[in-house]
Structure formats: C-alpha cells, structure tokens
C-alpha cells in the first residue's frame, strides 16, 4: 500500500530572527497544509534546510510535525546523509518519534558507486521498520541512482517501496518504471514534471510548489488520479511560470521569499543561503500575482 497518493509538501523549516527553529510558525504552516488538502508532510528535506539543522533540531522538528499532524496525514521524515551511520541514527530516531515513512537522499559529495549506493540503502533500511522513499536528485548530490539499482533495492529489501525522482530525465524514469513492473511507487521530485511523471505511472509529487499553492498542487494530482488528464495537464501548464520563478535561485530561497510575500513567513534562511536577489524577487512576485496568489 502506498505511503500516500497525491501531493506531499516538502515543507520549509521556519526560523526566527535569531536563526532558531520557529515551532509556532511550523505549526501554522502544517495546519495550513492540512486545511488546503495536502496529502502528506515531508519534514527535514532539502527544502527544510536539513543540512543546516543540528541533530537535536532535526529530531525535534520531526517530533513536532508528528505531534501537530496527529495522524491526519502521513509524516515523511527526511533522514538522509552522506554518512551511512548518521543516516541510520536519524532514521532510528525518526521512527522512535512517530514518523510514518522516511525520505533518504543519495549520499552527496562522496559520489558512491552503484554498489555503494546499494549497501548504503540496505544498511539504513535494515535498521528500521518504516517504509523508505529513495530520493534521486543528481543536480544537488552529484550522484544518480540508476534504474537497475532502484529495482534491485526494491526487490531485495521489503521496506524500500518508493522513489522520489528529481533527475529530470524522463527517459530514465520511463526505463525505471518499465523495469520495476509495478514494484516501486514513483513520486515526482520536480514541480514542472508532475503530470509527465504521473503519466509514466507516478502516484504523486513531493513538492516545493505545495508550500504556497497546496490546494492547486493537490488538485492537479487528484484530477490525474481520477482520470481528468486534460484538467490536470492544464493545471500543470498554468503553474509552469510560477515553478520557474520558484527555482530561479537555489531552493528554498525563492519559496521562503514567496511565503514572506504571502505574509506567512519572514524569509529567514540559514547560511550559506542568503536573501534573494532583487531582480529575481520581482520575477517571483509577478509570477505569484499572475497565478493568483497575491
């Protein structure tokens, strides 16, 4: 059974002016997402600036999200690391505090071989009972999980059940789904490819766009799953300019600025991320206005 179908939000981690985690604001954002129909909360992912959270903050953010969600929708915890032992530690802690599933990015910087990737994921999966979503995002990690490796992991390890694909290569994703033969649940990791990836057998998206347009992203997926391909496609096309603006600088810089423009955040980022360039902020403001968010 799928962890979720539809739109999962890769939620931001809000910070106060002193750069500490703002749990009150995080509660507000989670409640907003649930009210607007989001199908899952993904906490402490790339968009959540997990790489700048301490271990204590990381675990506390997962615990808080589970507490606020109260079982209304699944909570997927990002627990990946380029150190296998660290990923195991975070995964075990996420399981202890009640996460429903784990999202585990490929080990960045190390650039493991496919054999190394297999052993990395195998060790993590065997340390917990939770279902695991592999996360493939070569543009950030310098590492690509090949379709054959994904399928081998899913065949060999029962709790590796899904993949978030942000490789951008539709041909690779098509090959993956052909080889998987229904064994792997597929989520889009790119907001401009939600419908194309669902057309290849995907069951939803883990989305940055959902931070500011949760209902629209949910409805795009829902329409596709209900067979309204024309309506879903139209919603995808209508979102393209906004998605482009949300990624005109490295995420989550633009989406935090977008939440600030919507008066739902203060835009604070942890270094090395910095304030959005003014010209890009204006591009984002226009795209949000054209989309009806401002």
Locate tokens 């907003």: which residue?
A: 32
Active-site residue, from 25, 121, 152, 164: 164
Q: Give, in order, the Cα–Cα distances in Å from 110 to each of 102, 114, 173, 236.
A: 21, 12, 24, 35
The token duo for 119 is 């052993």
- Maximal C-alpha separation, the chain: 49
Q: Which two tokens mark 57?
A: 């903050």
| CA dihedral angle for residue 83, residue 87, residue 93, residue 99, rounded to 10 degrees | 160
- Token representation of residue 130: 């939770």
Element (H, E) at 149: helix 147-156
Helix %, strand %, coil % of the chain (to 5) = 50, 15, 35
- What the block records as the tokens of 102 is 């784990």
Give backbone dihedrals phi and psi of 265, rounded to 5 degrees, phi first. Answer: -175, 175
List 118, 121, 135, 291, catalytic entry: 135
Only one residue has tokens 């998206």, namely 205
Q: Does residue 121 have an active-site annotation?
A: no
- Number of other residues whose CB lies within 10 A of the CB of residue 41: 27
Is 286 catalytic? The answer is no
Q: How many CB atoms lie within 10 A of CB 148?
A: 12
Structure tokens at 251: 């995420």
CA distance 211 to 74: 16
Active site residues: 135, 164
């Amino acid at each position: 059974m799928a962890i979720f179908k539809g739109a999962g939000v890769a939620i931001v981690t809000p910070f106060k002016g002193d750069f500490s985690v703002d749990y009150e604001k995080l509660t507000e954002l989670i409640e907003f997402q649930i009210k607007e129909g989001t199908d899952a909360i993904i906490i402490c992912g790339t968009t959540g600036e997990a790489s700048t959270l301490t271990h204590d903050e990381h675990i506390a953010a997962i615990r808080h999200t589970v507490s606020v969600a109260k079982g209304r929708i699944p909570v997927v915890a990002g627990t990946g690391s380029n150190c296998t032992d660290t990923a195991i530690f975070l995964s075990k802690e996420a399981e202890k505090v009640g996460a429903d599933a784990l999202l585990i990015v490929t080990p960045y910087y190390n650039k493991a071989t496919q054999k190394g990737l297999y052993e990395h994921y195998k060790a993590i999966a065997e340390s917990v009972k939770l279902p695991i979503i592999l996360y493939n995002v070569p543009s950030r990690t310098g590492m690509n999980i090949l379709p054959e490796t994904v399928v081998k992991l899913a065949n060999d390890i029962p709790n590796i059940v899904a993949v978030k694909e942000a490789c951008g290569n539709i041909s690779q994703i098509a090959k993956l789904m052909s080889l998987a033969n229904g064994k792997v649940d597929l989520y889009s990791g790119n907001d401009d490819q939600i419908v194309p990836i669902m057309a290849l057998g995907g069951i939803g998206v883990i989305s940055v766009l959902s931070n500011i347009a949760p209902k629209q992203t949910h409805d795009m997926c829902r329409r596709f799953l209900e067979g309204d391909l024309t309506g879903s496609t139209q919603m995808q096309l209508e979102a393209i300019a906004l998605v482009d603006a949300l990624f005109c600088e490295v995420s989550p810089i633009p989406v935090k600025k977008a939440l600030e423009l919507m008066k739902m955040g203060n835009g604070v980022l942890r270094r090395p991320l910095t304030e959005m360039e003014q010209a890009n902020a204006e591009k984002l403001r226009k795209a949000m206005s054209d989309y009806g968010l401002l």
